[in-house]
C-alpha cells in the first residue's frame, strides 16, 4: 500500500487509474476550492451540525436552524464549481467515469455539467415539507424568509463562519420568523439527510450497484475529498475492498478508509483530479 508520506503517491494513483473504469465518491474536501469549508479537514474548526431529532423537537430548534441557514445559504449560493468538479465532469464526458456518488449537498457537481450524480445526502437547494412531502426550491424560500426578516442577513458580520451544509455559526436567532409550507402550512426542512436520519434506500441501492459494476482487473473506486468518518460513505469503500476492487483515496489528511486503500494521496483534489482528466 502506498502511504501518505510517499511523494510518488499522486503518480502511482494516476498510473493505477489509467485505462480503468472509475466510480467516484466525493466529500466536502472537494468543494473547499469553491470557498465552501469542510467538516473535518486539517484546519477545520469543531462543528456541531443540527441533528434530525433536534430539528423536529419544536419551533425553537427550527427557528435556530433557519436563521443560521438563511445567512449561510445567501453565501453558499454564490459558490461556483472548481477545477475538481470540472475534471470529474470531463471524465464523465470522456466515458471514463461510470458514476459519481457525492456526500456533498451543494449541487456543484451538477452545476459543473455532471449528468449522472447520486446526491447521497440530498440537495441544499431544495426544501421538503415534513407534513405533505412537497418539494420546493430553496431560492423561493429564501425570498420568503427575507421578506419576513428584512435586513437580517445584512446585519450579520462577514466574519461569521459558514459550514458545508449552508449553516452559519450564529448565536442570536431569537425573533427570527420562519416560513411554513406554502401548500399545507406544515414544517419545512432542507431536502438533505441530517445526522441521525437515514439515507433513502434507493440512493444506497443505486450506489452499491455502481460499485458492484466494477471488476478488480479493470475498475477502481476513487474517493476524493472525504474523510470517510461517517458510514454512509465508508461502506462503499469497504464493499469495494471486500471484492478486490482497487481503492484510490485523494484527501488532505487521514481518512477512516486508509487501511483499505490501494493508494493514498495526501493532496488537494483539484490538482490530482485535473491531472487525471488532463484539464490542468
Question: Would you name the residues annotated as active-site residues?
Answer: 121
Residues 6 or more apart whose Cβ sits within 8 Å of residue 192: 105, 121, 122, 123, 124, 165
Check the annotation: does 167 bind a ligand.
no
Check the annotation: does 28 bind a ligand.
yes
Contact 108, 31 (CB under 8 A): yes
Contact 125, 38 (CB under 8 A): no
Check the annotation: does 105 bind a ligand.
yes
**Residues 269, 183: Cα–Cα separation, whole Å:** 42
Check the annotation: does 104 bind a ligand.
yes
Q: Which of 13, 18, 86, 24 is nearest to 225 (CA)?
A: 24
Check the annotation: does 72 bind a ligand.
no
Check the annotation: does 42 bind a ligand.
yes
Sheet holding 135-137, edge to edge: 135-137, 122-129, 188-192
Check the annotation: does 213 bind a ligand.
no
Quote the radius of gyration of the chain (alpha carbons, Å): 19
Q: How many residues does the chain have?
A: 280
Q: Which of 247, 249, 246 is nearest to 267 (CA)?
A: 249
Check the annotation: does 274 bind a ligand.
no
Q: Which of 190, 187, 103, 105 is nearest to 142 (CA)?
A: 190
Check the annotation: does 207 bind a ligand.
no
Check the annotation: does 34 bind a ligand.
yes
Q: Which of 116, 110, 98, 119 is nearest to 203 (CA)?
A: 119
Which residue, chain included where needed, has cell 442570536? 172
Check the annotation: does 29 bind a ligand.
yes
**Residues 162, 78: Cα–Cα separation, whole Å:** 13
Check the annotation: does 129 bind a ligand.
yes
Check the annotation: does 84 bind a ligand.
no
Report the sign of the C-alpha dihedral through residues 230, 265, 39, 210, in that order.
Answer: negative
Check the annotation: does 63 bind a ligand.
no
Q: Which residues are annotated as a binding site for Zn(2+)?
A: 129, 132, 181, 184
Q: Which residues are annotated as a binding site for NAD(+)?
A: 27-47, 103-106, 225-227, 251-253, 269
Q: Which residues are annotated as a binding site?
A: 27-47, 103-106, 129, 132, 181, 184, 225-227, 251-253, 269
Amino acid at each position: 500500500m502506498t502511504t501518505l508520506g510517499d511523494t510518488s503517491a499522486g503518480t502511482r494513483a494516476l498510473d493505477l487509474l489509467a485505462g480503468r473504469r472509475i466510480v467516484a465518491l466525493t466529500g466536502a474536501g472537494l468543494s473547499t476550492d469553491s470557498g465552501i469549508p469542510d467538516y473535518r479537514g486539517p484546519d477545520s474548526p469543531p462543528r456541531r451540525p443540527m441533528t434530525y431529532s433536534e430539528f423536529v423537537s419544536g419551533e425553537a430548534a427550527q427557528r435556530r436552524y433557519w436563521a443560521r441557514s438563511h445567512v449561510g445559504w445567501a453565501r453558499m449560493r454564490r459558490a461556483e464549481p472548481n477545477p475538481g468538479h470540472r475534471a470529474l465532469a470531463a471524465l464523465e464526458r470522456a466515458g471514463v467515469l461510470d458514476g459519481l456518488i457525492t456526500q456533498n449537498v451543494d449541487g456543484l457537481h451538477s452545476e459543473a455539467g455532471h449528468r449522472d450524480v447520486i446526491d447521497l445526502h440530498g440537495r441544499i437547494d431544495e426544501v421538503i415539507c415534513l407534513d405533505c412531502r412537497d418539494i420546493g426550491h430553496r431560492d423561493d424560500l429564501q425570498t420568503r424568509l427575507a421578506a419576513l426578516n428584512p435586513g437580517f442577513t445584512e446585519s450579520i458580520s462577514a466574519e461569521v463562519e459558514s459550514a458545508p451544509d449552508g449553516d452559519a455559526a450564529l448565536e442570536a436567532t431569537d425573533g427570527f420568523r420562519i416560513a411554513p409550507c406554502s401548500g399545507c402550512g406544515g414544517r419545512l426542512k432542507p431536502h438533505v439527510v441530517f445526522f441521525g436520519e437515514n439515507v433513502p434506500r434507493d440512493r444506497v441501492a443505486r450506489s452499491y450497484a455502481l460499485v458492484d459494476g466494477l471488476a478488480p482487473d479493470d475498475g477502481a473506486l476513487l474517493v476524493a475529498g472525504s474523510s470517510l468518518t461517517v458510514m454512509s460513505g465508508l461502506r462503499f469503500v469497504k464493499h469495494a475492498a471486500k471484492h478486490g476492487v482497487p481503492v484510490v483515496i485523494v484527501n488532505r489528511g487521514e481518512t477512516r478508509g486508509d487501511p483499505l486503500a490501494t493508494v493514498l494521496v495526501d493532496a488537494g483534489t483539484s490538482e490530482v483530479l485535473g491531472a487525471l482528466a488532463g484539464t490542468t
